[in-house]
Amino acid sequence: MSSSNQTAAAQPAPAMLPEFARAVAQAVIGEISRRGVIVPEYMDTAQASLYTGMSVDWFAKGRCEGFGPPYSKVSDKRGGAVRYRRADLDKFMGDRREGGGR
């Protein structure tokens, strides 16, 4: 058998792709359910952005202008790494909650 035939044999047939995708999705969902969703205690700006729904640019501007959530600078270099603590992000967002029952 040639190498191109071996490669084709290793891949699921097109008709089997939906079944294969469903099986993979079920396995991933099962693993997440078993482990639970893990949210890190400290997040970089991209993770904090995903966690809060605010943009990375908003976080950068907030650091520069002093209106954003508290952060830790873990590098002394200009433009160095910063981290946001999950509890600080939760408090920051909670303190700005408006409407509905508080």
pLDDT in tens, 37-64: 677 899 999 999 999 999 999 999 999 9
What's the whole-model pTM score?
0.60
- SS3 annotation, the chain: CCHHHHHHHHCCCHHHHHHHHHHHHHHHHHHHHHHCCCCCCEECHHHHHHHHCCCHHHHHHHHHHCCCCCCEECCCCCCCCEEEEHHHHHHHHHHCCCCCCC
